[in-house]
Amino acid sequence: MPRKGCYKALEGDAARKLACKLLETPFWPDGIDTRTRYFRTHDDCDGEMHKGISVLFSEDGDSWVRTCPDGCRFRTYGGGGMSLRVRNAMLLLALAIKMDNEERPQQPPQEDKDVH
């Protein structure tokens, strides 16, 4: 895992352009297999290593996501984060959700402003 300072940070417009390019381009990374569950324990698991997030892709390419019932927290580097790549993926997921909601609005869920 890269340590703080070992990479150039992307911010603002440059980060958004790169993220949008990735999100708008169909891709399948080498090393990701169908019918394999990828699991990561979240940073506030309190020793309960089964609490986390998992992603599985079916043979037709659909994704299946599971999280622990209380939600998952992936901290930043300064906050003791152990899964910085997963946290970055959550930023991409948030952007993808925002873009899809703008392009294809759905009935909005009840707003949840509770931050654990």
111 lies in a domain?
no
Low-confidence ranges of the chain (pLDDT < 50): 1-3
Residue 72's closest CA among 109, 104, 40? 40
Instruction: Examine residue 43 and state whether it is found in any structural domain, yes or no.
Output: yes
Full-prediction pTM beyond 0.85? no
pLDDT given at position 2: 45
71-86 pLDDT, tens per residue? 999 999 888 899 999 9
List phi, psi (to 5°) of 52: 180, -150
Range of the domain at 94: 32-103
The answer to whether residue 3 sits within a structural domain is no
- Residue 95: inside a domain: yes
Q: Which of 21, 29, 42, 39 is nearest to 84 (CA)?
A: 42
Task: Write the single-letter amino acid at 115.
Answer: V
18 located within any domain: no
What's the confidence (pLDDT) of residue 77? 85
Residue 85 domain-assigned (yes or no): yes
The per-residue DSSP string of 13-70 comes to: HHHHHHHHHHHTS----TT--TT--EEEE-TT-TT-TT-EEEEEE-TTS-EEEEE-TT
Q: So what's the pLDDT on residue 1? A: 41
How many separate domains does the chain show? 1
* pLDDT attached to residue 11: 84
In a domain, 4, yes or no: no
Q: Is residue 19 part of a domain?
A: no
